[in-house]
Amino acid sequence: MTAPTKPQSSPATATPTPAPTPTATALHTPVISWFETHARDLPWRRPEAGPWGVMVSEFMLQQTPVNRVLPVYEQWLARWPRPADLAKEPPGEAVRAWGRLGYPRRALRLHGAAVAITERHGGDVPREHAQLLALPGIGEYTAAAVASFAYGQRHAVLDTNVRRVFARAVSGTQYPPNATTAAERKLARALLPEDEGTASRWAAASMELGALVCTAKNETCGHCPIAGQCAWRLAGKPAHEGPARRAQTYAGTDRQVRGKLLAVLREAIAPVPQAVLDRVWDEPVQRARALDGLVSDGLVEPLPGGLYRLPLT
């Protein structure tokens, strides 16, 4: 465990330069150890959650805080304990049960994934990364997360938390780039423990560290198990350089209008007349564009006579 504190400015020998990054185990051991005592007791981490529970949680947690997911997750798993249970429902029921989690297309994709699992995988969440990746709503992150968390496999699980931990601890910057880079993926693979079980724990532990300690704002380095080797902290925590993340406006956008329209339809039992939807937004062009978008996304089903409802097919 040689930890080169400084680059050798005048090496006397021709020995190869040590790797510039800290040895991997110097990060793994303290982070995994910290995780064992500080991990939150979340329902999708319990054994009874199973692969389906893990997968549902990953869909819900995309861009959504844990505290908001918890109650919806519990209701979802109680109602649809297996993929086939969800698959036999109309997609609109998934959208309705999604409630106010946001990004309701995720509900549609989760329903589509349940249908695909039922048809193509005998009702069991597939183990293979490539098969997971082929399901709707599952990208690189979620495929790796399900394979790692549900099946204990060795995958680089690179979410926003892990990217921030790596940016600080290894790269010495406050924040990662706006979009995930090839260099980040390469680093994540290089830091992945060889052993499958250790790799799986490392994935969960590094993510939890980013979520609880190495947070975007008000990080608590005093609680960090690798503060002593954090490149950003050792450099005096320099402020972020480069382009700020694009501000995400919401008020007045199509997203807000879509949200208002869908909220009406979620609460309605019977098909809703156009005139009722018209009351949620006074600007007719934007209102029509938002409704058209919901229809083309499959989130809303238009019926004859100017009626709308959540989709039955």
Whether 27 and 226 have beta carbons less than 8 Å apart is answered as yes
* Nearest distance from C-beta of residue 137 to DNA, angstroms: 5
The phi-psi region of residue 50 (left if phi > 0; otherwise alpha if psi is between -120 and 50; otherwise beta) is left
- Closer to DNA by Cβ: residue 179 or 275: 179
Residue 12 burial by CB count (10 A; 0-12/13-18/19+): exposed, middle or buried?
exposed
Q: Which residues 6+ apart lie within 8 Å of 309 measured at CB?
A: 92, 265, 268, 270, 271, 272, 300, 301, 303
Q: What are the backbone dihedrals phi and psi of residue 308, each rounded to the nearest 5 degrees, phi first? A: -135, 150
Active-site annotation, residues: 58
* Nearest distance from C-beta of residue 179 to DNA, angstroms: 5
- Closer to DNA by Cβ: residue 22 or 162: 162
Q: What are the backbone dihedrals phi and psi of residue 103, each rounded to the nearest 5 degrees, phi first? A: 45, 65
- Closer to DNA by Cβ: residue 22 or 158: 158
* Nearest distance from C-beta of residue 263 to DNA, angstroms: 5
* Nearest distance from C-beta of residue 16 to DNA, angstroms: 32
Q: Hey, is 273 helix, strand or coil? A: strand
- Closer to DNA by Cβ: residue 13 or 296: 296
Q: What does the binding site for DNA look like in residue numbers (CB under 7 A)?
A: 42, 44-45, 57-58, 61-66, 68, 100-105, 109, 136-143, 145, 159-161, 164, 178-179, 207-208, 210-211, 215-218, 244-248, 250, 253-256, 258-260, 262-263, 293, 299
Whether 265 and 309 have beta carbons less than 8 Å apart is answered as yes
